[in-house]
Amino acid sequence: MGIIALDLSKRSTGWAVWMPEMSKPIYGTWTLGSEFTSDGRTYAKLLENLSDQRKLTRFEAAFYEQPLRAEVLQGFTNIDTLRILSGLAAVTEYFAYGVGLRCCQAVPLGSWRKHFIGKMPRGTKSKEWKDYAKERCAQYGWKVRTDDEADALGLLDYGCEVRGIIPPWRQDEVLRQPLGGAR
């Protein structure tokens, strides 16, 4: 069963797709808009990209990062960002329903990170988490260009686990190497 994973964002949505016949996933980023793009055009662009990707790979399951809750707003995340992220999540669900995907699941940030990166000390900064995701991708031989791609690949790996699939990059794995140097 093929899977698409999405790290939703207006400026840089990370995506990753893996199909059982693939030895490794394909991944990239989609720019859905800028500060000058209306919400509707942003949502339409996501729907267009999902439709185009589905024509190419015929994935049957989708996993996306659950939008943050309003009570955890910090940094550059504001209520407008949450509104856009919630809209992108709704479009993803709408798309999944419309094409009859077998599974469409919102994944809490902490769930996929703990699976993909491992347990980290309380207070680990966002930049560190993103660097660790990129480092884990490098360990699997994936040459990511952005942390959005790395996050999408982490979500994809989590999605495989949830679906009970052992993808090629996990088949020979005995122990995961520690991240961030020796600890």
The full set of domains in the chain, from first to last, is 3-171 (3.30.420.10)
> pLDDT tens-digit profile of 21-32?
999 999 999 999
Residue 157, token pair as written in the block:
């790996």
CA distance 27 to 173: 21
pTM for the full model?
0.90
- 3-class secondary-structure state, position 9: coil
CA distance 89 to 67: 7
> pLDDT tens-digit profile of 53-88?
999 999 999 999 998 765 555 555 667 888 899 999
